[in-house]
Structure 1
């Protein structure tokens, strides 16, 4: 049985955007991508699509931005804070925010805002994120003492894949114990 897609209209785009934003935080570019995927899916299913669909998408996105539902700065700040707490490196945080459709200036403001909020330098922020990753993944000082030596290279590789510089990863993995990480 062939699936039948609903016609793409302005009302459909508004409803799809509202439904998406109720469930997920998004940047303006992120919402634009979601709506474009809906249109592409409708094209694949041969559904009727209104003329000037790209202009309609821009109008819908602008309407949500003007209403304050979408705020790229707040989105970037919240996402950066969340990723930092999880132990995501600055490099990976920047990459994830770019992929979410955050422009470079907003991204820089979010990272600087995170430093101000945490009252740290970028290097200290990176160290705190590395320690958070080690805690979450039970690496280095969070590993049982008898296993640390055998897993050191594996732990360093995990930190490298997470986007941390070697010196930061080495400092965290080779820390004497978990308490010494919190002091740094």
Structure 2
């Protein structure tokens, strides 16, 4: 790789440096095995590999998981709670977990939490976007379609999104009715 800004190129990464990079990353960020492997691959692309054969990326991630530095199930649950708190639905949570390379086995608790909090998450997004009962004025048909689109992009099901968007400003929210919608 050519030098950047007049600096010397950094030396290729060896096994010890790869371990050091991995430990520094998990020490700084909550992460999953897959995200750690992606980070290490990026570092290897930038600097190169000085060892023989393929670098032991999966072995490093597995070792750090055995030591308790990485816990994919806990990461998934935390991610689901954070996204739900920001108003995102189960589809958006699942997409995020897929990007983080979380296995199906480790997604279970996170997806269950996302499903349990789906109505509250949808209402949080509606409040943030001033949609439905949180709007200041009734929406015209075009604005209503855009609001439904925003709810769908947020990972919420169509029926729930439509029901919330069609509520008039200040409308009393019936949580039990919304919980029945899929």
TM interval, shorter chain, is 0.7 to 0.9
Q: 1:75 to 1:182 in 2, by over 3 A?
A: farther
Output the aligned Cα RMSD. 2.2
Shift in Å at residue 179 of structure 1? 6.7
Shift in Å at residue 50 of structure 1? 1.1
Q: Select 2:149's aligned residue among 116, 139, 157.
A: 157
| 1:35 alignment counterpart | 40
Are positions 1:172 and 2:173 aligned together? Answer: no
CA contact (8 A) 1:17 1:35 kept: yes
| 1:85 alignment counterpart | 85
The gaps in structure 2 that reach 5 residues or longer are 177-182
Bigger share in helix: 1
Alignment map for 1:1-184 (pairs within 5 Å): 2-3=3-4, 4-43=9-48, 49-55=50-56, 57-112=57-112, 114=113, 122=115, 125-145=117-137, 147-149=138-140, 151-177=143-169, 180-181=172-173, 183-184=175-176
Q: Which runs of 4+ in 1 moved over 4 A?
A: none
The number of residues matched between the two structures is: 170
Shift in Å at residue 59 of structure 1? 3.1
Normalised TM-score (structure 1): 0.81
Q: Give, in whole Å, the separation in 1 of the partners of 2:174 and 2:3.
A: 58
The gaps in structure 1 that reach 5 residues or longer are 116-121
